[in-house]
Chains A and B, each alone.
Chain A
Amino acid sequence: MITSISALSEHLDGLPVHSVLAHKDRFVEGARSLDLESALVGELGRVRDDHRYPPPMRSSRALNISAGKWHFVDLFVFDDREFVDPLTTHPSDTVYYFLGDGEYVLHQLNEYDNGIFSRDSRAQLVESGRVSAGSTLAIDASRFIASFRSAAPLLALCLSNRRMKAFSWDFNLPDGEPRGHYNNYALYTILEVMAKMIGNYGDADSVNALKILLNHESDTIKWQAAFALLKISAAEGCQAFRLLARSGNPQLASSSNMAVTQIQGVL
């Protein structure tokens, strides 16, 4: 029996399977034991007593309650009276345990691959309903987006994976069309920017570092690395784009093929 959030985190850290969806029942046991008032009074007290203490907010409306080795437990507040437009994908799989009443809608992601942006992807409304205190909702971030509204602010405990998808996507609420996507990790963005900078100011000594990025999980980082290599050396750039032309991402493959053709025309 899990009797506290810290016991829950300790328990989850010891498990071999690092998936929040697989441990929903354990999470509910822990969530039921949360002394919400004491948790909040504790955080406010730390702020009051030490101005150097940064409250562990993970966003403007999510207070981190526990940070395990592979998971987070956060207290979320949903205070929107209407469903928010755009719909944004969840950074990782999430299990919600609700502490109040509200409404939800569930959109299914069709023709969707987090790492490959496509205008054909759609978020399609498949379910709507009510949540109440003590109810749960488990979301597979690769397949669904859940969003909430409530007349009164709705609190929920959320269990999510530390490991995030590479990108967050926005979809228009009315028609489900994709609006754009952006990096979930600040690190990914800085790697892109660094690649651009090295491409402009680096030299032959920088080639090895850029080549490493050709193996990154993010295709936008791979692309920037290849482009940077091209700026330093046409031969290295051509070789990099040849590699990317074999990518499983059709957009990356086709753009890289075009790049190879153009570079060969110049060489």
Chain B
Amino acid sequence: MAVHHRFAVDASMELAEFMEYADAKTDMRDLDSLLALGEQLSMLGNNRRFLSKFLEDFIQANWNLDSLTATISQSVMLRSGRDFYLRANFWLPEAEMTESEALLFAYHQAHDHNFDLLSYAYSGSGYTTDLYEYDYSSVAGYVGERVSLVPRGNHRHACADTLLYRCNRDIHFQRPPETPSITLNVIPTANQYGLQDQYFFEIEKGDSESGVLSRYAESNIESRRFLFNVAKYVRSERLVRVMCDVIAAYPCRRTRYEALRALRECDAGAHDTMVHQLRDDPSPIIQQYVHSVLSGVPASA
């Protein structure tokens, strides 16, 4: 399950020291090594001034800019390392959210992450979260799919706690904190190239051992889907050839699936040929789609 731990450390660390340590000592592809970094993250957390200073500097440097493409609004990147980055995430209580802010938070929505994430609770009461596990490799990955879950209880991410969420394995359902809260997140970049999905799930009350894949999170995969959905309205042989290349050999299973679905509207003949070629494809999401087309049973969304 997601690992939570409290490192009993009194020492404090500067941001630059933390980055230097993480770059030198942590293997970001190894979960044990990442979890061990929680000790230094806790030392950074003991530094009660660095974050305010960062936010003050950020405001002074950015307040008059038109836009900032490298940020999402619930978090701000503090520093980028060799193969990870460190960000501060903000968690507002329900009553304190404006209309704009309410759009940002994934409260009350069970979801996984398509990256490992080491989180340290820096301030505030902390959000509470229900925890589940699932097996990404056993999931085809289409919307509407029922997914087996293993409930792992709930947890309050209280101040000075460290939590490790594992990529495409841990699912959490977060509830807003009672007071504004901040977490520090270490995120390895190894899985961040849009080859694996991040899912949202509907989990019904009374059935914590299964959920329904309800939607996809924003990602490069979704950007590719959007591109296919624009491209499919321009019918040309060259375009169909590239789409078929993607369907046949792209290293992301859902990207292939989305290209195949788009091809249907772009060139029905080429689509049908691909469907027949893919009858023995090892990817479950492709199999599910091919089966639905060949059997005449409508595919899920």
Minimum C-beta distance from B190 to chain A (A)? 12
Q: Is the C-beta of A63 less than 8 angstroms from some C-beta in chain B? A: yes
Q: How large is the interface on A (under 10, 10 to 19, 20 to 34, 35 or more residues)?
A: 35 or more
**Chain A positions 211-247 with a Cβ under 8 Å from a chain B Cβ:** 212-213, 216, 220
Q: Is the C-beta of A180 less than 8 angstroms from some C-beta in chain B? A: yes
- With A187-B68, A190-B76, A200-B180 in contact, do A55 and B226 touch (Cβ < 8 Å)? yes
- With A180-B99, A189-B104 in contact, do A41 and B74 touch (Cβ < 8 Å)? no
Q: Is the C-beta of B270 less than 8 angstroms from some C-beta in chain A? A: no
Tell me the bound Cα distance from A226 to B63 in angstroms. 15
Q: Is the C-beta of B179 less than 8 angstroms from some C-beta in chain A? A: yes
Binds A, one of B206-214, B245-253, B271-279: B245-253
Residue of B52, B57, B228, B251 with highest tally of chain A CB at under 10 A: B52
**Contact between A189 and B100, CB atoms less than 8 A apart:** yes
**Contact between A196 and B52, CB atoms less than 8 A apart:** no
Q: Is the C-beta of A21 less than 8 angstroms from some C-beta in chain B? A: no
Residue of A nearest to B75 (CB): A190
Tell me the bound Cα distance from A212 to B230 in angstroms. 42
Binds B, one of A1-9, A42-50, A81-89: A42-50
**Contact between A77 and B230, CB atoms less than 8 A apart:** yes
Tell me the bound Cα distance from A220 to B54 in angstroms. 22
- With A194-B55, A200-B180 in contact, do A37 and B238 touch (Cβ < 8 Å)? yes
Minimum C-beta distance from B231 to chain A (A)? 5
Residue of B62, B100, B101, B223 with highest tally of chain A CB at under 10 A: B100
Inter-chain contacts of B76 with A (CB < 8 A): 190, 194
Q: Is the C-beta of A258 less than 8 angstroms from some C-beta in chain B? A: no
Residue of A nearest to B265 (CB): A153
- With A186-B68, A186-B73 in contact, do A51 and B229 touch (Cβ < 8 Å)? no
- With A51-B251, A190-B76, A202-B52 in contact, do A197 and B223 touch (Cβ < 8 Å)? no
Binding site for B on A (CB under 8 A): 36-37, 40-41, 43-45, 47-48, 51-52, 54-55, 57, 59-63, 75, 77, 153, 155, 162-164, 180-183, 185-198, 200-203, 205-206, 208-210, 212-213, 216, 220
